[in-house]
């Protein structure tokens, strides 16, 4: 019997040029492109790469800044808890067109945390 991997944590790598970074990670470290979504202008809006059972996701934020995506089963309750604790919510709870319901917050050190139902 094979069991499906249920991942929870997804590192989010911010890059100045996502396509260039993906090409380099494939060449240098053996990561494999897993999913690439482009906007109407052809720019990469979301991308994922895999290595063994791990997945990393990419953003177009400030290079070198830490971020993490965490899959949660109840994003509404999670959002309410974070907000009540004083978390800086910089992207409100929203239903995404790719099926996730998620939000984003910063911790006191400025690291970005994304929480939602998306599980690649």
**What would the pLDDT profile of 6-53 be if each residue is shown by its tens digit?**
888 889 888 888 898 899 889 988 899 999 999 999 989 889 999 888
Q: Among candidates 101, 113, 97, 119, which has minimal Cα distance to 39?
A: 97
CB 22 within 8 A of CB 28: no
Instruction: Spell out where 1-120 has E strands.
Output: 9-14, 32-38, 44-51, 54-59, 67-71, 88-95, 101-106, 112-116
When pLDDT is averaged across residues 89-108 and rounded to a whole number, the result is 92
**Can you give the residue ranges of every domain in the chain?**
9-116
CB 21 within 8 A of CB 13: yes
* Separation of CA 5 from chain center: 17
> Is pLDDT at 109 greater than 60 in this prediction?
yes
Tokens of 75: 């994003």
Question: What is the pTM for the complete model shown?
Answer: 0.71
CB 98 within 8 A of CB 57: no
> Is pLDDT at 1 greater than 70 in this prediction?
no
Q: Which listed CATH number (3.40.630.30, 3.30.70.1710, 3.20.20.70, 3.10.180.10) goes with 9-116?
A: 3.10.180.10
> Is pLDDT at 64 greater than 90 in this prediction?
no
Confidence at 3, pLDDT banded by 50, 70, 90? low
């Amino acid at each position: 019997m094979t069991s499906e991997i249920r991942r929870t944590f997804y590192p989010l790598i911010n890059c100045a040029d996502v396509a260039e970074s993906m090409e380099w990670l494939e060449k240098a470290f053996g990561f494999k492109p897993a999913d690439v979504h482009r906007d109407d202008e052809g720019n990469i809006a979301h991308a994922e790469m895999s290595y063994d059972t791990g997945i990393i996701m990419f953003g177009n934020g400030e290079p070198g800044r830490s971020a993490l995506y965490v899959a949660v089963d109840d994003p509404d309750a999670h959002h309410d808890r974070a907000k009540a604790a004083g978390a800086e919510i910089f992207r409100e709870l929203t239903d995404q067109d790719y099926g996730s319901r998620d939000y984003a917050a910063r911790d006191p050190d400025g690291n970005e945390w994304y929480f939602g139902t998306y599980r690649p």
